[in-house]
Chain A
Amino acid sequence: NAGVMQNPRHLVRRRGQEARLRCSPMKGHSHVYWYRQLPEEGLKFMVYLQKENIIDESGMPKERFSAEFPKEGPSILRIQQVVRGDSAAYFCASSPPVLGVASPLHFGNGTRLTVT
């Protein structure tokens, strides 16, 4: 009964390096969402994906950030040329196919990115 799996749990990168965060949704879930959380703040929506499609990326910074959810394998959130301001917890959530009725998102335990 695996939930949403994220790895790595902790990631340290120097400024200018690339960060790759992975997320495997719950079994049977085909929708993935990425959120960012700064210390003592709420979660901020970044991007919503289905298999091979980006549905909504309105919360994603225009530069350096990208996300994908390939036909096979986990969803990947990629941050190029990281800066200290990218340090945060990044959470992935998944949901079953949306059939016109909203349903709760199920979250993983996040990846904590630290940029030194």
Chain B
Amino acid sequence: GESVGLHLPTLSVQEGDNSIINCAYSNSASDYFIWYKQESGKGPQFIIDIRSNMDKRQGQRVTVLLNKTVKHLSLQIAATQPGDSAVYFCAENSGYSTLTFGKGTMLLVSP
């Protein structure tokens, strides 16, 4: 079936580095994508979203890139901080605003 998945289960970076988390999706009909951050013991926290009519969107220290040709989504975090350590999920809209989540990438930031 169609699903959303991630390339890397764990990403380790040094504080101050830029981080890139990747996500592949297979549903070509998806038109809305979201990145969530989940810290231990908490619910997913919205980071940034992008619609399919865009290929790039920037927030505070974060940028999401969407490549519809290869069905690829990435989250870039600039100047990564220890507080960015968490599991990051990409999710795609699959109708009625229900979301299909990938399995997640754990980001570990070392001081």
Contacts and interface: CB of A to CB of B under 8 A. Distances in A.
A12 interface: no
Interface in B27-79: 31-32, 34, 36, 41-46, 49
A110 B43 contact: yes
Contact of A43 (B31, B42, B101): B101
Interface stretch (A14-22, A60-68, A71-79, A95-103): A95-103
B97 A98 contact: yes
Interface string B91-102: 001011111111
B44 to A, nearest CB: 5
Interface string A33-50: 101000011111100100
A95 B98 CA distance: 10
B103 A103 contact: no
A104 B31 CA distance: 13
Contact of B103 (A35, A42, A104): A42
Contacts of A31: 97
A4 interface: yes
A107 B45 contact: yes
B49 A104 contact: yes
Q: How large is the interface on A (under 10, 10 to 19, 20 to 34, 35 or more residues)?
A: 20 to 34
Contacts of B44: 43, 91, 107
A110 B32 CA distance: 24
B89 A105 contact: no
Interface string B20-32: 0000000000011
A107 B45 CA distance: 7
A16 B33 CA distance: 39
A26 to B, nearest CB: 12
B96 A55 contact: yes
Contact of B46 (A48, A106, A108): A106
A95 B101 contact: no
Given A41-B103, A42-B101, A48 B96 contact: yes
Interface of B: 31-32, 34, 36, 41-46, 49, 89, 93, 95-104
